Amino acid sequence: MSVLATIDWVVIALYFAIILGIAWWVIRQKNDTSDDYFLAGRNLGWFVIGASIFASNIGSEHVVGLAGSGATDGVAMAHYELHAWCLLILGWVLAPFYMRSKIYTMPEFLEKRFSPTSRWVLSVISLVAYVLTKVAVGIFAGGIVFGVLLPEVNFMGLNSFWVGSILMIVLTGLYTILGGLRAVAYTEAIQTIVLILGSLLVTVYGLDALGGWGELKRIAGSEMFNLWKPLVPAGMEGTWSPVKTDTQIAWYFNGNYPWLGMLFCAPIIGLWYWCTDQYIVQRMLGAANLTEARRGTIAAAFFKLLPVFIFIIPGLICFALAASGKMPELASELLGPDGKIIPAQAQQVFPLLVAKVLPAGIRGIVVAGLLAALMSSLAGVFNASSTLFTMDLYQKFRPNASEAQLVRMGRIATAVMVVIGLLWIPVIQGSRGLYDYLQSVQGYLAPPIFVVFFFGIFNKRMNAKGALATLVVGFALGLFRLAIDTPVMLNEGFSYPEGSFFWIMNNMFFQYYSLLIFIVCALVMTVVSYTSEAPNAAQIQGLTLGTVSAEQEAEVKATYNMTDKLVSALVVVLILIAYWYFQG
């Protein structure tokens, strides 16, 4: 039976009318050149940029996965959400290099800094990463939400999960294919407002049903409000080793995030994602100028502080409502005999909270917010994927392609990515959890990209041979681990012989393996670069910290503003306050 009342459907219909109206208005604008279609004519303002970055990031892994991690592990995953400072690095440090280059894609920057081959390799890596993470995860989460809110839906033999997944693709893909980045950015600005409002209402009504913030802390306990304690598995206090069994001879994995990995690995993944990923940076590349680009990243950093309270806390609230017995129906659906959340059910906590605690009408607003998050995440990756394929791959094979041909190929590429994402859903269905799956795959793919960008910008001696070797070696190491993990995710009954090499690899903390990839990549980049010829000075002019001219530096400093500096400092202070408060 549907949990949505008539008034809920009216609110949802109004939301879709607004989104489609905006999309139609944007589609009717000039969209016939590659600049218009892929970068919105490079004319986006700071609020649209900031809201678009936030809406693209806050997608399925947060609505479904992050709330689920809140129910199982408390505020531990807030570490990832408090990486808002990475957006400040993008705006203040890296944006001048990107904006000065007039690039369409991040791989294109590598071509300018290193070589055309580096551009091609990164494009392939990025497209693979989008298929393995953002596309399939977005589709899967849409199915989860529909499965909880509309369980009785059945169409041509497809249950509500598959109906919801396909519906999300069709609606999102339609305006993305037709309108390009401009349609994505402007609809995401509206979706950000709906998402934040809807998610805050879940927190407010959830706390009211539970009895307030104090009651939540009492029921959940200090450990679930501790950013640090949950990161150390029982029996491992005081050790840096990832080894933990009764005989202390095997690698240990139980879905936790060890503090050493969070301290060193999480920032690498964060800086890769926020500062070098096409999915995020493309919005900034569409800015009218450097000032608008920087202010857009500062606005996005502010928005990024919210997920702790609009996704993780609702997950905690759902657990508390179930564990306290105040909502027996939640306990029967979510809790196991030990009184803890059943891992397989954790991904349903946010939509379940929507269904159980919200009144009619308000529920419609929140469901619209859920759909906004899912659609904006998918729209962003569709547009980023089509830009990468068209500008970095197709244009290389067809250098004389017309603007109309480039736009048409971008639309075709979007459709192909959707189909591939659908085929990958069964892998995610068998994963340890949506958020764990996403973070682990990103952990395998991020280190080599982080190394080539940051080492390349901060050290002018890094060269094309070093960058190419780093990308190839790092990507191979990541795919190796993913190939080992996939059979275990696909088949619940499958496991490697205990103590074997493959078993050790599969059961190692993914963050430790990610750090291993980073160390190898850093060594490869440095050794290969310094044992081969130095890059051409003219080629890297203005593309590294050591080759910025006095005139270029003066142009950047002219865009500095005291208000921007103060607001950026405030973001950092708020992050420190969050770390101080969540100590258990």
Q: How many domains does the chain have?
A: 1
Position 159 pLDDT exceeds 60: yes
* Residue-by-residue DSSP string for 221-284: -GGGGBSSGGGS-TT-TT----B-STTS-SB--SS---HHHHHHHHHHHHHHHHHH-HHHHHHH
Residue partners of 362: CB distance under 8 A and separation at least 6: 201, 205
pLDDT tier at 569, thresholds 50, 70, 90: very high
Give the torsion sign (CA, 441, 56, 348, 232): positive
Residue partners of 239: CB distance under 8 A and separation at least 6: none
485 inside domain: yes
> Of the segments 305-314, 373-382, 512-521, which one has the largest average pLDDT value?
512-521
Position 138 pLDDT exceeds 90: no
* Residue 415 belongs to domain with CATH number: 1.20.1730.10
Cβ contact 148:63 at 8 Å: no
Domain that holds residue 166: 6-581
Phi, psi of 255 (to 5 degrees): 90, -5
Task: Write down the residue that tokens 């306050």 correspond to.
Answer: 577
259 inside domain: yes
pLDDT tier at 237, thresholds 50, 70, 90: very low
How many angstroms separate the CA atoms of 314 and 284, rounded?
31
Position 349 pLDDT exceeds 90: no
1 inside domain: no
Q: What is the pLDDT of residue 506?
A: 79
568 inside domain: yes
Chain segment 73-124, per-residue pLDDT in tens: 778 777 778 888 999 999 999 999 998 888 888 888 999 999 999 988 888 8
501 inside domain: yes
How many angstroms separate the CA atoms of 441 and 457, rounded?
25
Cβ contact 310:192 at 8 Å: no
Query: What is the pTM assigned to this prediction?
Result: 0.80
pLDDT tier at 244, thresholds 50, 70, 90: very low
How many angstroms separate the CA atoms of 418 and 286, rounded?
24
Q: What is the pLDDT of residue 55?
A: 76
379 inside domain: yes
Higher pLDDT, 519 or 381: 519
Q: Quote the percentage of the chain above a pLDDT of 70.
A: 76
Length of the chain, in residues: 584
Chain segment 423-436, per-residue pLDDT in tens: 766 665 555 555 56
Residue partners of 79: CB distance under 8 A and separation at least 6: 227, 231, 257, 262, 266
275 inside domain: yes
Q: What is the pLDDT of residue 22?
A: 75
